[in-house]
Structure 1
Amino acid sequence: MPQPFQKDNLYQNGVDTVTDFAFDENVARVFPDMVHRSIPGYATLLTVMQAVFRHYFKNTPQPLVYDLGCSVGGVTLALAHVLPADSRFIGVDNAAQMLIRYRDAIRQANLNERVEPIQADITQMNLLDCDAICLNFILQFLPPESRQLMLQRCFDALKPHGICFVAEKTRQSENTQAFHEQFKRNNGYSELEIAKKRLAVEKIMQIDDDTTIVSRAKSVGFCQITPVFNALGFQGWVMQKKTTAA
């Protein structure tokens, strides 16, 4: 059984060599603390998602929701709390250690009958027809040339009236970047930790500006794209599939 989540201290040591960021056991054991201390308004983002999904699916029989890149289960747990008891979730992650934590969180929340965890590459797996898809801070870790194709796969899997919720860190001005670093200092990260984390993620996380993200979504067919969250450049959109004939 996994141990309780711990405080993020991964970059406190004085080792000069910084390896590329990976969703391994070290990250899995501190992930909730890392996310809440690094992403401005993360708790609010989850409550926004709850409002959006409740609005769309409170009267939908047996809605099926994909949580792609489900990590340790924060999104699935938040949405399961507000959606009807017959709603179903498929949580997908390619990181084995994250999925171990996800399964444990689902078990502790008594959601085993509603949630199916799958270890897979989201860019390669077949998606079932579904009502909603969550892509929370996932596209930014895919190669830029794969992001529109991933959105296309999501669009194709959604039923009419279905939604894709996308949250991403977006490219910002120097001032906003400075505000974000101050946010992390306020949450207890040292200058060394901030610098090392920046080096660790710079190769594997290439961020887009918001117009690029929206343009990709429009290109694959999403007809209604509503911005619903923005905190120091961390943004969220509700993207709805076209519901009427052309």
Structure 2
Amino acid sequence: MPASKDSLYASPLGEIAAFSFDENVVKVFPDMIRRSVPGYGTMISAIGLLAGRYARENSRCYDLGCSLGAAALAMRANIAVRNCKIVAVDCSEAMIEQCRRDIELAPAEVDIEWRCADIRDIEIRDASVVVLNFTLQFIPLEDRGRFIAGLYDGLLPGGVLILSEKLAFDDKRQQDLQTEMHHLFKKAQGYSELEISQKRTALENVLIPETFSEHRARLEAAGFSSVEVWFQYFNFASMIALK
């Protein structure tokens, strides 16, 4: 599917609906994510490298909240061990159907299983790599602790969780600065003030960011022995949690 330019919020909207990953978003998602998330391409490339490092024979690698499968495809390109399966899950039927169409055009030795489901309902087992690439932020706060604990239980000893999130900051000056810089980034990518404002409204109460300290505390409570930020660009960061 050719990538289309994201202009979903370019015209004034009388009523702004809550953001959802529907067919309209699917059509423009590659452009939207590239122009909205600083460093996205770098993170995807590194996820592939990390999967190549941590994937084991006879194990599974999970891309939870896979959208159009960028992380899953990066993992597939770097995994060299035998009998390692990638499971890519998203609750958007439109996203998964597009993934299935795209994958038919690019067969490879490493199998990807595409599942349309709520990631909270997926049993994680025999996992060497789990990826949550800007996914946890869309899960209700009250479900996050139990969900992360389930991922930990499903990871093999020595496995890795890669968690990328939009961050909040305890210090108001940092919060204001990082928010301002993100808006400037989006303006530099061609988004107008109207687009930025309307999308922010659409995401309100849908995307709930947390601080790094909150993420770290939850991961350590689940049992992860080491948690560090490996990449950050303004208020977007990616963490590595080791079991």
Shorter-normalised TM range: over 0.9
- Structure 1 unaligned runs (5+)? 242-246
Aligned to 2:238, what secondary structure does the other structure show? strand
In the alignment, the residues of structure 2 paired with residue 237 and residue 106 of structure 1 have an alpha-carbon distance, to the nearest angstrom, of: 28
Aligned sequence identity (%) = 33
Post-superposition, which runs of at least 4 consecutive aligned residues in structure 1 deviate over 6 A? none
Q: Deviations over 1:46-85 (max 9, x none)?
A: 122223222223xx32441011111111001111111116
Match of 2:10 among 12, 21, 38: 12
SS in 2 for 1:6: coil
Counterpart selection for 1:143 from 140, 145, 164: 140
Partners of 1:37 and 1:194 in 2: CA distance: 11
- TM-score, structure 2 as length reference: 0.93
Matches within 5 A, 1:16-165: 16-57=14-55, 60-84=56-80, 86=82, 87-111=84-108, 114-165=111-162
Change in CA separation of 1:145 and 1:5 when aligned onto 2, cut-off 3 Å: same
RMSD, matched Cα:
1.4
Equivalents in 2 of 1:18, 1:94: separation in Å?
22
Change (3 A) 1:137 1:150: same
What whole-Å deviation, never above 9, does each CA across 1:13-70 have from its counterpart, x for those lacking one? 222211100010001111111101000011111122223222223xx32441011111
2:23–2:94 Cα contact (<8 Å) kept: yes
Q: What amino acid is aligned across from residue 9 of structure 1 in structure 2? A: S
- Equivalent of residue 174 in structure 1, options 160, 172, 176: 176
Amino acid paired to 2:197: A
For residues 106 and 225 of structure 1, the distance between their equivalents in structure 2, rounded to whole angstroms, comes to 33
> Over residues 138-174 of structure 1, what are the superposed CA-to-partner deviations in whole Å (9 max), with x where a residue is unaligned?
1100111111111111001111111111000001420
Structure 2: runs of 5 or more not aligned: 170-174
Could you list the per-position Cα deviations for residues 186-221 of structure 1 after superposition, in whole angstroms to 9, with x for gaps in the alignment? 001000000000000012111101110111000000
Q: How many residues align?
A: 237
* Distance in 1, Cα, partners of 2:2 & 2:109: 20
The answer to whether the Cα contact below 8 Å between 2:18 and 2:202 also exists between their aligned partners in 1 is yes
